[in-house]
Chains A and B, each alone.
Chain A
Amino acid sequence: ILNVEQSPQSLHVQEGDSTNFTCSFPSSNFYALHWYRWETAKSPEALFVMTLNGDEKKKGRISATLNTKEGYSYLYIKGSQPEDSATYLCAFWNNYGQNFVFGPGTRLSVLP
């Protein structure tokens, strides 16, 4: 059974703070890792598709890194804003089952 973990489970930060969270996944048989942002009452929205060890991707104030050898990815948010409040999900591609295995998510609340 593939296990994808995310930490912390939830996080409260002040507006303007920078923050980061972790996604841990099996380091063997890596194909891809996706990050999604899921705001309340909306659909999960893709942030990054990461496929290569050492990948660094950036979208505005949000960036992500990938270490496939040790099985983790970090998501960074610089200068958090209230609109960044959401649940951030990572999803690991299970090539055996040919499907994505999602982590439980990190719930971020940015306080004004």
Chain B
Amino acid sequence: KAGVTQTPRYLIKTRGQQVTLSCSPISGHRSVSWYQQTPGQGLQFLFEYFSETQRNKGNFPGRFSGRQFSNSRSEMNVSTLELGDSALYLCASSLRGRENTEAFFGQGTRLTVV
């Protein structure tokens, strides 16, 4: 069974630009969550999508947005990039995105903002 796929793996952008990251979940999984990891910080929850609807959102500015398509693939967009947005962005898919369901992570997209 194919795992969670994130593209691209690495990205370099300039301040002020926007970026779109993609996540293809495991087949049959309807929940996709996005996390940010910066040096010295644990994984910070960005948002979760379930059946094309944003179900939950973390404490991030409105520059961070996302969406989910009917095939459960999800995209995350960051507009007006800032240097502090440089981070590893991970997505995780699960069947239902609930507390007792195991999450499967992708390898992440490493974003560098210069």
A-side residues, CB < 8 A to B, are 4, 31-32, 34, 36, 41-46, 49, 51, 89, 91, 93, 95, 97-105
How many interface contacts (CB-CB < 8 Å) are there between A and B?
Answer: 59
B100 sits at the interface (CB 8 A): yes
- On chain B, the residues within 8 Å of A31 by CB distance are 99-100
* B100 x A98 contact (CB < 8 A): no
* A102 x B42 contact (CB < 8 A): yes
Residues of B in contact (CB 8 Å), total 25
* B42 x A99 contact (CB < 8 A): no
Q: A44-B90, A102-B43 are in contact. Are A32 and B100 (CB under 8 A)?
A: yes
CA distance A32 to B96 in the complex (A): 14
Q: A32-B99, A43-B4, A44-B90 are in contact. Are A99 and B45 (CB under 8 A)?
A: yes
Q: Chain B nearest CB: distance from A24 CB in Å? A: 13
Q: Which of B34-81 contact A (CB under 8 A)?
A: 35, 41-45, 48, 55-56, 58
CA distance A104 to B101 in the complex (A): 21
* B106 x A43 contact (CB < 8 A): yes
Chain A residue with Cβ nearest B103: A46
Chain B residue with Cβ nearest A51: B100
* B33 x A99 contact (CB < 8 A): yes
* B103 x A97 contact (CB < 8 A): no
CA distance A49 to B102 in the complex (A): 7
B25 sits at the interface (CB 8 A): no
- On chain A, the residues within 8 Å of B43 by CB distance are 89, 91, 102
* A43 x B102 contact (CB < 8 A): no
- On chain A, the residues within 8 Å of B48 by CB distance are 98-99
Q: Chain B nearest CB: distance from A39 CB in Å? A: 11
- On chain A, the residues within 8 Å of B108 by CB distance are 43
CA distance A102 to B104 in the complex (A): 15
